[in-house]
Structure 1
């Protein structure tokens, strides 16, 4: 087994006849999945998703994969294959297409339809796209692709087999093995077995649930729980789930119809995605069930259902605004039931519980994964992964999609079934498949690319550190006017603070020390404004640390007059 090490150097040129695999995201975190495959100078990309920011990344909207190492080679990209329509697999595609707009897109009908609406939002032209189904084959340059049905928490998910002269790769995408899926479309283990018989040289497997023993419960197991929630609710029911979770929405629509309730979608992405799913036939709407959200308010509460975004506590989502009573037309009332029908993504716990507490404060009953079986994972647990390894019998395994602990657990499962060569990599770690053996070849630069408003990649870790200091420790500005002829303080210091002290008079004690320090600095020959600003920063920084045990951001301004 190989481990990624920080001391890895840039990889040597790819050996003739070899296949190079470079993950730009998704290995070491749950999100921003993107992997490039290279053969004979040509590239194939699988997935291009986003990661959502955590509390310690203030002001960041999205985090993109870092494809800077191939930025000058985008003309070599034969196609971008999208395994399914979740944001962590398609969300960064518009940013990639800004850099080369004619990359052919390959994916299932629903996946490309969800992406199409996203591209229109970004005002990007529809690029060449190839709608594929399970069982189909299509060739781009040296890459022959075959697609395999897998089930996940969104319809129309696909695994992809990539045949090259260097060998065959099987990439599962996100998948599980639900034997009773709501849409009847099971993971095609017969195709996995057939590919295994042909010989899978490298198996890239979803690691997200590798630490969870046994098998992921079936989606159908949730139906009775949702039905019970509706049966026990005397007033309005509000359901929050991912805007792409068509199966969960289908279960809610069926329960609403059975209990003579009408449903409205709330949240722009929910309205858009469910409209697409309905138009394409992936969502079956019972008669007279869907109404506009504003019309719903005219119905008695016991006949109302709202399906909303915001199951992860996102601050601007519909559910967060409902919890804060700032939503335009949805006002939570005592006796309402709120159903959080989703998993808890690591890092979102505080935000979710903040929303739950906000809803409970207004008298709502909140049903969530912690107190009822209202969600099952979309990822294969350890038992399912063992089945896959035994069926596929791969020569080499590269665990993907997960944090390091998930990938290590996945690697352990592969070794238990007899796989001798398991490679653990992280984002940027290059893996070469040469003569049927996969090994780490080096590492390319691969960091976080932050999207902040319209800015892409301009925000650095240093900027985020400054923002965290502003949020946690406060901000102090100091303005001093220096007489240009005498070098003496002619005005100020004028000191203002935010998030540190309510009353600026607390700084009266430190003002004489600032003046003394500036006089001494000028006497010692300091004339440069930057040197004088640093003098101010040191004095007030030391005083704040000693008297208040705080480390706020300090911005000194020295003006010559």
Structure 2
């Protein structure tokens, strides 16, 4: 791929992920062949991606350009912004990373799971402490979210000042964080902001997002009234919520058990940094906590999205090593449902209800506050920054479109608002912004175990077919000399039909297989076994479809004797 560069008066903005989707956030700025990357995140697989662990950005456009990359800015410690670092940074030449203390600690702890990777070059950033990377002058500014050490950035460039908001909300009464500093934001807006790149995740939500204090008050009502055990499920990275659970447990004389590797790891890191406060005897091992009376037990863990291996799913299925649901338990889902997870979450809720639990979720009571700005806050951000141009980022396409409409209602000319997609290249000048004809690769790169990018569309389609219609293996023994079938073909079926109840169908398949082989190979002379296998596969597949209206993966195995 030919290397393209930015001219002296033009800055290129290239999103590689996070536009038209929730997660996989990564973009880069390029000025005069110097590249600044912002975030390197992953997203979780969709339901029709069996076996896939994560989806990460495509960095083809940055390969062989490691000498041009001056650094990576990390906004905060959520995995949709840092999760792909172990898979990508080494391919970029291990550039310097700049992150807040909590994000830095989470990145370094996770890097321990990848011992073959090179040691990261990562520096801490401090609110308001300016620094320079190549031609870019960086000023971090604190933003409220649902994790500590979340930073937006003022990025000074020779073309003009750019503001990247990070994920954000405006909260006057947060928990475990200082309130939004509007005066500071107003001063930033006085720097003549050329381009605002602003979070769009809640651009379809009216009014103002809920304050964490509202959530605290409602959670306290649950703790005050619960007679039995309290089991809470949330994101492992939702540090503020975990602190609320610990604080309320101490107030109402409950001991806390943490469940889930990622949650335990995050709490340990936050305690070391002083971001989570707990008395010495509050957090105990699960076995120790379960020895207390029910009204003194609180359990915090993962699984609010119905994840298969998370704490709450294992408890609901009766698979957890120590915890079983009992009548009188109170279960709290303290997170909203990510689109695509609705069925899994409903399954877990139903299982919990059947076992006698009292279940609370965000649709019944305000026990989860989004960490993202609603419409009123997005408009307020425009007021504070007063930018010339807007690039809505971080969200599904509908969210980005609604953010763009909001900016038009605010008074920004339509030509100054860029609705972009991953892989498009934006040219920013002092007086204009435009989408270039050129694009860069931005398709999904899938992580499956130790494999990165080796599962492509063909492999994924095979997995989807196996999950949908199963597998049908036909084993045929053929005489090498004559090309005729010896004996009756063996058939193995998995996920398609139950063999004992389909004897007539199997008999027809065996007869057709013998006929196909004999007509294809039993004529003397050289035999093209690849042709024979393809013939069996195609004709048996068509036959099975006519009989069942399902199309399993047909795998012919020919043994020559």
Q: TM-score range by the shorter chain?
A: over 0.9
CA contact (8 A) 2:306 2:341 kept: yes
Relative to structure 2, which stretch is displaced further, 467-476 or 515-524? 515-524
Is residue 2:373 matched to residue 1:380? yes
Tell me the distance in 1 between the aligned counterparts of 2:339 and 2:325: 27
With 398-407 and 528-537 compared, the bigger mean Cα shift is at 528-537
The answer on 1:498 being equivalent to 2:490 is no
State the 1:560 CA deviation: 2.3
TM-score (norm 2): 0.95
**What CA distance in whole angstroms lies between the structure 1 residues aligned with 2:328 and 2:508?**
55
Q: Provide closer, same or farther for how the CA distance between residues 546 and 276 of structure 1 changes in structure 2, counting only shifts above 3 A.
A: same
CA distance in 1, matches of 2:551, 2:50: 18
TM-score normalised over the length of structure 1 = 0.95
The more displaced of 435-444 and 149-158 is 435-444
Secondary structure at the counterpart of residue 198 of structure 2: strand
1:227 CA displacement = 1.3
Query: d(CA) in 1 for partners of 2:5 and 2:134?
Result: 20
Q: In the alignment, which residue of structure 1 is the partner of 2:57?
A: 65
Q: 2:417 matched to 1:418?
A: no
Tell me, yes or no, if structure 1 residue 534 matches structure 2 residue 530: no
Contact 2:476/2:557 (8 A) holds in 1: yes
Q: 1:558 and 1:117, CA in 2 relative to 1: closer, same or farther beyond 3 A?
A: same
Q: What secondary structure is seen at the aligned counterpart in 1 of 2:64? A: helix
CA distance in structure 2 between the partners assigned to 1:555 and 1:203 by the alignment? 54
Q: Secondary structure at the match of 2:320?
A: coil
For 1:522, the equivalent position in structure 2 comes to: 521
Residue in 2 aligned with 1:409?
402
The offset of 1:125, in angstroms, is: 5.1
Partner residue in 2 for 1:509: 508
Displacement, 1:32? 0.8
Q: Which residue of 2 aligns with 1:3?
A: none
Q: Relative to structure 1, is the Cα distance of residues 184 and 314 closer, same or farther in structure 2, using a 3 angstrom cutoff? A: closer
> Aligned partners of 1:298, 1:272: CA distance in 2, in Å?
24
Number of the residue aligned with 1:4: none
- Of the candidates 9, 12, 31, which is equivalent to residue 39 of structure 1? 31
Distance 2:396 2:545 in 1: 37
Cα pair distance change 1:363/1:214, threshold 3 Å = same
CA displacement, residues 487-508 of structure 1 (integer Å, 9 cap, x when unaligned): 2112432111011111153411
User: Which aligned pairs between 1:53-452 and structure 2 lie closer than 5 A?
Assistant: 53-100=45-92, 102-123=94-115, 124=117, 126-286=119-279, 288-420=281-413, 421-441=416-436, 442-452=438-448
The alpha carbon displacement at 1:188 in A equals: 3.2
- How far residue 244 of structure 1 moved from its aligned partner, in angstroms, is 1.4
Q: CA deviation at 1:192?
A: 2.8
In structure 1, the partner of 2:467 is 471
Deviations 1:294-338 (A, max 9, x none): 211211111111110111111111221111111111222122111
Shift of residue 99, structure 1, vs aligned partner: 2.1
Say whether the 8 Å CA contact 1:480–1:557 is kept in structure 2.
yes
Q: How far 1:386 sits from its partner (Å)?
A: 0.7
Structure 1 runs, 4 residues or longer, greater than 4 Å off: 9-13, 523-526
- Tell me whether 117-126 or 61-70 shows the greater mean CA deviation: 117-126
Structure 2 counterpart SS, 1:480: strand
Deviates more, 1:111-120 or 1:513-522: 513-522
**Contact 2:469–2:496 (Cα < 8 Å) also in 1:** yes
Distance 2:65 2:3 in 1: 16
**Counterpart secondary structure, 1:72:** coil
The 2-side partners of 1:438 and 1:185 are apart by 35
Q: Which range moves more in the overlay, 358-367 or 268-277?
A: 358-367
Q: Indicate the residue corresponding to 1:5 in structure 2.
A: none
* Deviation for aligned residue 1:101: 5.8
Q: What's the RMSD between the two structures over aligned residues?
A: 1.8
C-alpha contact 1:11 1:444 (8 A) present in aligned 2: no
The alpha carbon displacement at 1:204 in A equals 0.4
Question: Could you say what secondary structure the match of 2:331 adopts?
Answer: strand
Match for residue 41 of structure 2 among 39, 45, 49: 49
Distance 1:101 1:319, change over 3 A: farther
Kept after mapping to 2: 8 A contact 1:166/1:436: no
